Amino acid sequence: MSTNLFDKFTTTSASAWKQKIQVDLKGADYNDTLLWKTDEGIVVKPFYTKDDCKNSSNTDSTFKFNISQSIFISDEKIANYIAINAIEKGANAIEFIATEKFNYKIALQKIDFTQVSIYFRFQFLDSDFVNNVSDFVDSKTCFIQTDIINNLAQTGNWFKNLKSDHTEFEKIVSHSNNSIGVDASLYQNAGATSTQQLAYALAHANEYLNHFGSEMASKFHFNFAVGSNYFFEIAKLRAFRILWKSLLKEYGIENSETSIFAQPSSRNKTIYDYNVNMLRTTSESMSAILGGANTICNLSYDSVYHKKNEFGERIARNQLLILQQESYLESANTFAKGSYYIESITNQLAEKALQIFKDIEKSGGFLKQLKLGVIQRKITENAAKEQEKFDKGELILLGTNKQPNKDDLMKNEIELYPFLKTKQIKTLLPPILKKRLSEPYEKERLNNEKENG
């Protein structure tokens, strides 16, 4: 029997649905009553049809996402031990973070680079060292991040100066694969809107494209932070791939796939009722998976206030393993394809971000806007709006500004300073500062704990 069951049902147009809804509203205005508009102008409707999905926004190719663990290198032997243990327990990617040169042969010993992706986040700039590390790994799945623009945005200064930074960076890019890492996570963690994050990531990358030329496009990769607005975060990552392809098409490049490294946001993580952080990171990791991130590095539930520890890292890694291997999300990067709602949000985010990007380029580009303080001001304005909503209880962090556990005491648990640190140093421009929403509330609670003994 070849009859399609759905042929027995008559098709109802979107206008017919809307007319029926209008009747049921009994005179109330459809747009005012049922359309929700976000602060950044994204319109969410009460229903969607295939007309909202005219242009699907994702690739048809599926892939298995990588599970990463982040390791700060202070002792090479310890870093290597943690890496080997993480790989044995299910990780197939490692992110090494370093603030100074280290013995990479010790840190990387016994790691099979054909099976494990390696990410390096270098918070210093030394082309000879970086290129030696790249040669040692000698793998197409080695990703290097020495993002000089990110360092400028985050600290307010170049590593050394504009000319020296670009000279060193040029040596790295000309020598190594996957060597242009654009870290857009800063913008989310500082309080930028989704459209701002997308536009700034694109404009940030375009500075490098203008400098190095389109022939270096294959060396780009991107870092994004993923927040708690579940469907919007799925759409955000998908929208970025649309924008990146569109930008590269302007440079005459058709084959424009890129790698995205995603990590849950730190902005909504809390000290009090910290176990809720696991719920947040689970949701955010799912958004990253369905949004098409190639590699996901989870945050441990206690990362805000505890030093790195095996238990927290194991829980974070196991969250991803459960999503990957027990929740059937192993190759889920195309699952959202064709979802009328997500496709609609994706296209709206891309369109609005593209307009911001065009405005930045018309005004002289991302670096000029940074130097003028425009980018910083835009992010600060939105962060202030979010903070006001949090303070009023309109933006909720469960266990913190809603249903807090008054018996939860943290003053003896703090191992790391969990609040915004500001350095009294001279900067070329105002830095973009990462700040968690719950910081003012937590400071007050901690002070009350200390005062009450």
pLDDT digits (tens, 9 = 90+) for 200-232: 999 999 999 999 999 999 999 999 999 999 999
pLDDT digits (tens, 9 = 90+) for 295-338: 999 999 999 999 999 999 999 999 999 999 999 999 999 999 98
pLDDT digits (tens, 9 = 90+) for 252-301: 998 788 999 999 999 999 999 999 999 999 999 999 999 999 999 999 99
Residue 380's pLDDT is 98
- Give yes or no for a contact between 262 and 296, defined as CB atoms under 8 angstroms apart: yes
Residue 453's pLDDT is 65
Percent share of the chain, pLDDT over 70: 97
Q: What is the DSSP letter of 402?
A: B
Residue 34 pLDDT more than 60?
Answer: yes
- Give yes or no for a contact between 222 and 260, defined as CB atoms under 8 angstroms apart: yes
Pairing of strands 66-72, 93-98: parallel
Among candidate residues 322, 337, 292, the one with its CA nearest the CA of residue 65:
292
Residue 256's pLDDT is 80
The Cβ of residue 391 has, within 10 Å, a number of other Cβ atoms equal to 13
Percent share of the chain, pLDDT over 90: 86
Residue 59's pLDDT is 59
Residue 232's pLDDT is 98
Helix (H) or strand (E) segment spanning residue 446: helix 439-451
Residue 56's pLDDT is 62
Among candidate residues 168, 194, 253, the one with its CA nearest the CA of residue 218:
253
Position 2 confidence tier, pLDDT thresholds 50, 70, 90: low
Residue 107, amino acid: A
Lowest mean pLDDT among 115-129, 180-194, 403-417: 403-417
Question: Residues 390-406: what's their mean pLDDT?
Answer: 94
Residue 51's pLDDT is 82
Residue 90 pLDDT more than 80?
Answer: yes
Position 178 confidence tier, pLDDT thresholds 50, 70, 90: very high
pLDDT digits (tens, 9 = 90+) for 61-75: 899 999 999 999 999
Q: What residue ranges in 10-114 does DSSP mark as E strands?
A: 36-37, 43-44, 66-72, 93-98
Residue 445 pLDDT more than 70?
Answer: yes
Please give the domain boundaries of the chain with CATH numbers for all domains. 15-47 (no CATH), 66-346 (3.20.20.240)
In terms of phi and psi (left: phi > 0; alpha: psi -120 to 50; beta: otherwise), the region of 447 is: alpha
Question: Residues 39-59: what's their mean pLDDT?
Answer: 80
Residue 144 pLDDT more than 60?
Answer: yes
Question: Residues 24-40: what's their mean pLDDT?
Answer: 89
Residue 355's pLDDT is 98
The pTM assigned to this predicted structure is: 0.95
Mean pLDDT of the residues in the chain? 94
Better-predicted residue by pLDDT, 429 or 424: 429
Residue 141, amino acid: T
Query: What does the alpha-carbon distance between residue 61 and residue 57 come to, in Å, rounded to a whole number?
Result: 12
Query: What does the alpha-carbon distance between residue 81 and residue 130 come to, in Å, rounded to a whole number?
Result: 22
Residue 1 pLDDT more than 80?
Answer: no
